[in-house]
Amino acid sequence: MTRFALSPPAGRDEARRVKCSTLGIGLAGLGTVGSGVVLALQRNSDLITDRTGGTVRLKVAKALVRNPAKARAADLPADAITTDWQELVADPAVDIVVELIGGTDTAFDIVAAALKAGKPVVTGNKALLAERGTELFALSKEHDTPIHFEAAVAGGIPIIKTVQESFVGNRILSMTGIINGTSNYILERMANAGLEFSEALKEAQDLGYAEADPALDVNGWDAAHKAILLATLAYGFSIDPTKVYVAGIEQVRPIDIEFATRLGYVVKLLAVVREHDDGSIEVRVQPSFIPKSHILASVHGVFNAVAVHGDAAGESLFYGSGAGQDPTASSAVADLVEAARSLRQPDGHRGFLPYKEAGALVPVEETTTAYYVRFDVTDRPGVVAEIAAKLAAAGIGISGTHSPVNPETPDADFVDMVFQLHSCPFGLLQETLTEIEGLDCVNSSPVVFRIEKL
């Protein structure tokens, strides 16, 4: 259990402490967030030093870029620029390495090399930690060198420090988050402007919210990577991404949003992390209906929020900018200060380390909520009866059904038929829906939304 020796090696302390008047940062990546870090440090350097009682002064010693000729928002001297990541990590002027290049290959090599060199790491790379965190946390432990990743989850919202330090005395009962701003923007534009998914996505891309390849945003995996990190943090063990159920927003249609509105819900891409009574952990990402009176329903546009339920703190919510140059840089700078402090402390850093070998995940089949299910059916007498009979046979209750008929074509052959269902295990629902899909009146796979209680 103990990860720090009570009596650390003395020589190393001395070596560390001497360097601490000004600490050199090695910045891997000088794109949007990287430039934000440079600018924030230039702007608020004295303030940071004041606030840390004169103990921390930070300076970008070296930056890794792909193309040194490219014009950038952040101004650095030419000799501080390199295209060789090994040079960046090895540079004796670099005390802390900031990884902001993304991806899971070179980024992994950079982080691993920094840890091996005893240089604390700050990263905003959620995919890297969610996919390869087990290896990196092992290196962090082996070399007693921290990884900090506030910038990896929810941009400028300090959710990592909050869960790790402020909730240290709480069992975390649940965390429910809107943690992909692009999806949230798209769903809101569909709701408010009546746009189709593809139109809203195009708009988000034009505004620079979505990536050129928005796959990870809309398929739920960006949110899932963050949820995995939050769960790891709260419960202390690495989560296998292949065990996490993830559904994105590609299948959301205006009709679903209309139906949600009529029932008093809003549609959000929700990441849910929850501890069950037996200690096993539920982690999933799905489009969900949430009550419009809940404070999470007030999270608009590209903002993010995470609701945390602690056994002592009760219901809390942390809200802010989930992405963007300055907010993400704000988190990276806070981590840099943590990293700088760890270099002064012989006896423990605040980088996260798993504290359990493993833990149980709840299979998604056993997770239980109410549901909204949309079927694409051939409209003929008996359709409702046939679907309802299958649900009845499975013991799944129906709260309501509805088919939104276009007044101008009331006898269209193919229609959407919506069922609102009582709570049941997701596995039972899936089996039943597979059976229903076999009915000749059902034309394609049903689309499922969770109705979350919160």
Q: Are 247 and 267 in contact (CB under 8 A)?
A: no
Query: Which stretch in 24-32, 88-96, 292-300, 406-414 sits in contact with a second copy by CB under 8 A?
Result: 292-300
Contact 27, 62 (CB under 8 A): yes
**Position among 29, 214, 320, 446 found at the interface with a second copy (CB under 8 A):** 320
**Residue 56 among known ligand-binding residues:** no
Strands 447-451 and 281-291, bridge-based pairing: parallel
CB-based burial, 284-313: b 16+ in 10 Å, e otherwise: bbbbbbbeeebebbebeebbbbbbbbbeee
Q: Say which residue the tokens 């219901």 belong to.
A: 315
Cα separation, 375 vs 184, whole angstroms: 24
Residue 92 CB contacts under 8 Å (≥ 6 apart), including other chains: none
Active-site residue, 226 included: yes
32 has binding-site annotation: yes
35 labelled ligand-binding: yes
For residues 249 and 197, give the distance between their C-alpha atoms in angstroms, rounded to a whole number: 8
Q: Is 142 a residue that touches a second copy (CB under 8 A)?
A: no
Asked if 330 interacts with a second copy (CB under 8 A), we say: yes
Q: Which stretch binds a second copy (CB under 8 A): 151-159, 365-373, 376-384, 397-405?
A: 151-159
Which residue of 85, 137, 149, 167 would you call a contact of a second copy, by CB under 8 A? Answer: 167
Cα radius of gyration (the chain) = 25
CB-nearer residue toward a second copy: 333 or 418: 333
Residue 52 DSSP label: T
Residue 138 binds a second copy (CB under 8 A): no
Q: Quote the least distance from Cβ 345 to a second copy, whole Å.
A: 5
Instruction: Check residue 41 for interaction with a second copy (CB under 8 A).
Output: yes
Site string for a second copy, 234-263 (x = CB under 8 A): --x---------------------------
Catalytic residue among 62, 119, 226, 268: 226
* Minimum distance from residue 342 beta carbon to a second copy (Å): 10
Nearer residue to a second copy within complex by CB, 49 or 401: 49
Quote the least distance from Cβ 7 to a second copy, whole Å.
8
Residue of 23, 94, 337, 442 that binds a second copy (CB under 8 A): 337
Q: Consult the annotation and say whether 199 binds a ligand.
A: no
As measured in angstroms, the least distance from the Cβ of 163 to a second copy is 10
Using CA atoms, how far apart are residues 140 and 112, in angstroms rounded to an integer?
8
409 scored as a contact of a second copy (CB under 8 A): no
Per the CB < 8 A criterion, the answer to whether 257 and 200 are in contact is no
Contact call for residue 87 and a second copy (CB under 8 A): no
Give the whole-angstrom CA distance, residue 91 versus residue 119. 11
Q: Are strands 172-178 and 245-246 parallel, antiparallel or unpaired?
A: unpaired
Q: How far is the CB of 298 from a second copy (least distance, A)?
A: 5
Contact mark string toward a second copy, 178..217, x via CB under 8 A: ----------------------------------------
Cβ atoms within 10 Å of 21's Cβ, excluding its own: 10
Question: Are residues 356 and 236 in contact, defined by beta-carbon separation less than 8 angstroms?
Answer: yes
Query: With binding defined as CB under 8 A, does residue 161 bind a second copy?
Result: yes
| 356 marked ligand binding residue | no
Part of the chain binding a second copy (CB under 8 A), chosen from 93-101, 118-126, 210-218, 349-357: 349-357
Among the residue ranges 149-157, 195-203, 204-212, 387-395, the one whose residues contact a second copy (CB under 8 A): 149-157
- 130-163: burial string, b at 16+ Cβ within 10 Å, e else: bbbbeebbebbeeebbbbbbbbbbbbbbbbbbbb
Closest to 66 in 3D by CA, of 28, 107, 34, 24? 28
Task: Report the distance separating Cα 371 and Cα 397, nearest Å.
Answer: 10
Least distance in angstroms from the C-beta of 22 to a second copy: 13
Of 88-117, which residues contact a second copy (CB under 8 A)?
A: none
Pick the stretch among 197-205, 319-327, 387-395, 422-430 that binds a second copy (CB under 8 A).
319-327
End-to-end CA distance of the chain: 34
Residues belonging to the binding site for L-homoserine are 211
Residues belonging to the binding site are 28-35, 126, 211
Give the residue numbers annotated as catalytic, written as ranges: 226
